[in-house]
Structure 1
């Protein structure tokens, strides 16, 4: 399979979960890929999984110094790129009264500030006619309890994407957002949750999703690559991968 031969891509937050699934499909398709991650264990696991098929770089999206260094490293290793996929994100499920300044800043520093400045730093390296795809969440327009800060950060990300789509029209760089629902990943999107909390989260997701199951990381990855390479007349859009959760679907009564 070589449909991405001669393509170059950067996947921010690509060492596990949905980002890794995107990286694997790109590599299988013949692309040259650079992925980033913050956790050393995930970085080592990614290097073992991908061997020499991808550049694996330790970089913290919430650190401005790391973003600057990453820009130089991408330029050195890849030069011009065809796709920037910003997938890194964090979620703390907290009711409003439990939110602290530290937890608020942590979420926005990764999901909004880090994503924005990473895109800004790498913009000069994206070929005219290339693509940016942000990973948001169906929470970017929902009102689920306990997700106020997370939802706000993802709504900001979606707004950034729409403005970037407008500003980059002269360069023909398309900017889109993929918004997953409940997806099977190692952390289920909540890194600090216990095994019991994740199990409960899975049950809730299966119950409320109209298709009565979680999505797979590969299903999200295929949506990302569709936006990146196939949706050539689409920009400023939001594609949900949520099993119908955000679509107000009701089954026919028995």
Structure 2
């Protein structure tokens, strides 16, 4: 099994309409979903599976969170060997606790944190001893890229590399927008081992945050499915280094996401 300590490994959509969101992403990304929860008074949790196994979940925004103004969004969980110890360590390094560590029966122990620049992430130690198997590279429906729009670029770069051991690769000069700094959660500095990047948040973005790129087989087909399903494209298709293409979008309920994949040969679409 893969050691997920210090790495994003589970991705969760909190949304206003779980069933509609599942239908949308199943069409765009290719997930299957299985619902869990026997309590008739509680909303079920929907586990998502890509071509390489389970990768995340979908749930309704809790009532108390909705009352506090939460809107649909994607969050990522970072593996932790000891959630309480990590909360203390990360807080000392400049993070903030947004929700104190607590247990989820049958799932594990988690906490909600924000990095020094204000972007939200979660810590999770699963209760199962089986752990997780890493999906193959570019497995359909899994996350192929993690992008942080940072509220404090220098502090966040120091935080993630220092606290989680992420290794930096090349930095791409974006002119007035700053540097697009590649990094690897797998602690390998090769270009083909990079798993994400950090860049300064642009002024028009309302808050710092993580954007997750889901792998698709054909970027043009995914692009068409996004718009046909009621989503809105904010950027792309755009080619990125390495030959892949990306599309950044907003789902029908309002959550930001992105897809990454190859472009089929001209004249053919999947």
- TM-score between both structures, scaled by the size of structure 2: 0.30
Name the one with the larger strand percent: 2
Name the one with the larger helix percent: 1
- TM-score between both structures, scaled by the size of structure 1: 0.31
